[in-house]
Structure 1
Amino acid sequence: MIDVRGLTKVFGLPDGRARRALDTGADRASAVRAAGGVLAVNDVSFSVEPGELFVIMGLSGSGKSTVIRMINRLVEPTAGTVSYDGVDVGGMSAEQLRELRNKRVSMVFQHFALFPHRTVRENAAYGLKTRGMSKRERLDRADVALEQVGLADRGDAYPSEFSGGMRQRVGLARALATDPDVLIMDEPFSALDPLIRRAMQEQLLQLQQELGKTILFVTHDLNEAMRIGDRIMVMKDGEVIQLGTGPDIIGNPANDYVQDFVSDVDRTRGLTAGSVMQSPWFTATADEEPASVLARMRKARGDGVYVIETDGTILGVATGEQLTLAIRDGASHVRDCVVDDYTAVSDETPIAEFCHLTGGHVVPLAVVDSDKHLIGVVPRAHVLEAIATATEEVPEHA
């Protein structure tokens, strides 16, 4: 949907002088500074897939907000390209650019920017006014958007009657009313209280599940990034430090800067079952003989075994006790003695949602794919190890 290559922005210099400074040597920041400018964004490249919630994360001055404003040319790039759905945004005419901003890309900012003298419904409808749409149609579209953000019965209220979180819902409804392909959200929840902020994150995730929009979300909060992002791009001093999924970044920080960030993150939200699972070390097929499976179980020193169908799905669990009874009763297949004594989660389930489920069965927690195939298991010890954030320092010995 969006492809960014070599995106660069210099402030404080005419474009010609800025480009010459960029081309003078390897240390572009020093060259730009010597010429009297500021290198705000330096050679940033990334792509965003349709329906992806892509997070750009960094502290103040990292360049993240400048990057998203170059995507729809609210800020003109000094160098590099931005392509939207295969079309070069830099080469768009004024009319094409208006079309992009009015119909295909909507923005939600940290500050609500609502009109105090207009009702909530009129605020939500405002983005449609430039399209020449009738007032009735605009208001009808606004009502749909307000319903999507949980404000269906408050359209006649005024912004002054709303809390910060509710005003931000109106801002989100205004963006949704235009039915854009892409939502660009610049620190939209950073001014909200923690509980309201969490509720808005939940609202956004629910909307994303229902509507499947492509979203670029800017934040300085790694916990927020981990909670909502499909992928996260970490920026510092105008450059990309690391790009990956939340579990990738937590498990393999690119440098000390990222390591400092992840040391304080809520790992139970950032890590998933897929990131902490291991291969199933002991399974049995449904048509195996109970005696054979019991012999292997004793060697493995286990108390139970996952019994798998030929298509890879879980039939159930066989315990040592059930296998012994099956042998005594002359059963010829393990499928005759399985029980439903296990719990399964998807590989995308956060640790916070399944850690209480581990350790309660004779087999480890099962991890399954979208087709219910067993792809891994999560022993309780793995969960406890993953949650631990402190690392032990080995003392130096003389």
Structure 2
Amino acid sequence: MGLSGSGKSTLLRCLNGLVRPERGRVLIEGTAPRIDPTAADAETLRQIRLTRVSMVFQQHSLLPWRTLRQNVALGLEFRDLGRAEINAIVDEKLELVGLGDWKDKYPEELSGGMQQRVGLARALATDADILLLDEPLSALDPLIRMRMQDELLALQRVLQKTMIFVSHDLDEALRLGSRIALMEAGRVVQLGTPAEIVTSPATEYVKRFVANVNPLAILRGGSLMQPLESLPRDPADARVLLLDRTGHCRCTLSAEGRPGVLSIGGKAGRLVAYDETLVLEALPEDVLITGPLETSMRTALTVNHSTGRPMLLLDGDGRLRGVISEWDILRAMVGAREGKRAEPGVEPLSTAV
């Protein structure tokens, strides 16, 4: 991402050989030897574009005289495939993007968001490992754009492709990207996770770029929590962990590192996994909420504010990894505003794709 003219789209076009760089290489994994589109001959480039790399353009690039099915089939028609096989693949991809009932319509009969889905289906039809997306959502209305971002994230959870997405919208980049390359005047000035970009800007340019970002949307449990190793213990019984600053909430750990006996205000407590359907304000006082390490700062703040109690973060095996209190959240927000990592020594976790 970066401002207009920073070189985003030019760099993207280097990845599939549309632009030849003056120096440097692009290496595509998955074959032996690895392929470099910047040095490939015409036939190799053609095969890369047919099978390995697909592209989604900003203005959809749909052919108006072709139906949706015919537009999506375009890349497949250059392969040695029968019409029945092509139609089966196309129909599957149109169903995947929610346009199965529109396959015989023409682009002019569709909304902007639907046209963008056709472009995405066309890119997916070749089953390429790598998708290049050149500001594909920038021409859409804000509400449609947000919905398309949700759909793209949902597709990625299913397809697990390598997606390289160009954007000049910071909110979009932070929402979609697992890693962000921030560009200025043709150079990559910082590469990192969204949390790293926001909390540890590498240059004054990056600092200005992220100055107005709300850390609630970016920081994750791994960069907020007080890790297990630093939790204080009861002086009278070293087996008991103090989960908040007052010692109101306490627990022991099992041999496997999972929360054991839980105490809240001297009474037996219990754990409940966070779910968006929970009415937090209505939970009884004997409940502590748990969540995964990927829990967002917004969720942790909501849990703390609504229950008045800390949130426990567990790994995939149910082991306690740390605790988030309102104090930890405040410290994280101050750290983000000062351009520092919120919790030194704790690696921020990816937020998205």
Alpha-carbon distance in structure 2 between the residues aligned to 1:147 and 1:78: 42
Residue number in structure 2 paired with 1:157? 105
Q: For residues 269-288 of structure 1, what are the structure 2 equivalents within 5 Å?
A: 269-280=217-228, 281-282=230-231
Deviation at 1:64, TM superposition (A): 1.1
Q: Secondary structure at the match of 1:225?
A: helix
Residue number in structure 1 paired with 2:249? 304
- Does structure 1 residue 253 correspond to structure 2 residue 197? no
- Does structure 1 residue 379 correspond to structure 2 residue 325? yes
CA contact (8 A) 2:217 2:298 kept: yes
- Does structure 1 residue 243 correspond to structure 2 residue 174? no
CA contact (8 A) 1:303 1:362 kept: no
Q: 2:253 is matched by which residue type in structure 1? A: I
Deviation at 1:270, TM superposition (A): 1.6
Percent identity between matched residues is 43
Residue number in structure 2 paired with 1:262? 210
Larger radius of gyration: 1
- Does structure 1 residue 315 correspond to structure 2 residue 260? yes
Deviation at 1:355, TM superposition (A): 2.5
Q: 1:370 aligns with which of 297, 308, 316?
A: 316
Q: Secondary structure at the match of 2:38?
A: helix
- Does structure 1 residue 339 correspond to structure 2 residue 270? yes
Alpha-carbon distance in structure 1 between the residues aligned to 2:329 and 2:245: 21
Under a length normalisation based on structure 2, what TM-score does the superposition of the two structures give? 0.83
Deviation at 1:62, TM superposition (A): 0.7
Under a length normalisation based on structure 1, what TM-score does the superposition of the two structures give? 0.74
For residues 283-305 of structure 1, what are the alpha-carbon distances to aligned partners after superposition, in whole Å with 9 as ceiling and x for unaligned? 77xxx9x9737998699631011
Q: For residues 56-67 of structure 1, what are the structure 2 equivalents within 5 Å?
A: 57-67=1-11
Q: Secondary structure at the match of 2:81?
A: coil
Q: 1:236 is matched by which residue type in structure 2? A: E
Residue number in structure 1 paired with 2:51? 103
Task: Specify whether residues 124 and 316 from structure 1 end up closer, same or farther in structure 2 by C-alpha distance, changes over 3 A only.
Answer: farther
Paired positions, count: 317
Q: 2:290 is matched by which residue type in structure 1? A: A
- Does structure 1 residue 78 correspond to structure 2 residue 22? yes
CA contact (8 A) 1:223 1:266 kept: no
Q: 1:140 aligns with which of 57, 75, 88?
A: 88
Task: Specify whether residues 352 and 320 from structure 1 end up closer, same or farther in structure 2 by C-alpha distance, changes over 3 A only.
Answer: closer
- State which drifts further: 235-244 or 352-361: 352-361
Q: 2:66 aligns with which of 84, 97, 118?
A: 118
Runs of 5+ consecutive residues of structure 2 not aligned to the other structure: 272-286, 339-353
Deviation at 1:91, TM superposition (A): 3.4
Alpha-carbon distance in structure 2 between the residues aligned to 1:371 and 1:298: 20
Runs of 5+ consecutive residues of structure 1 not aligned to the other structure: 1-56, 323-336, 392-398
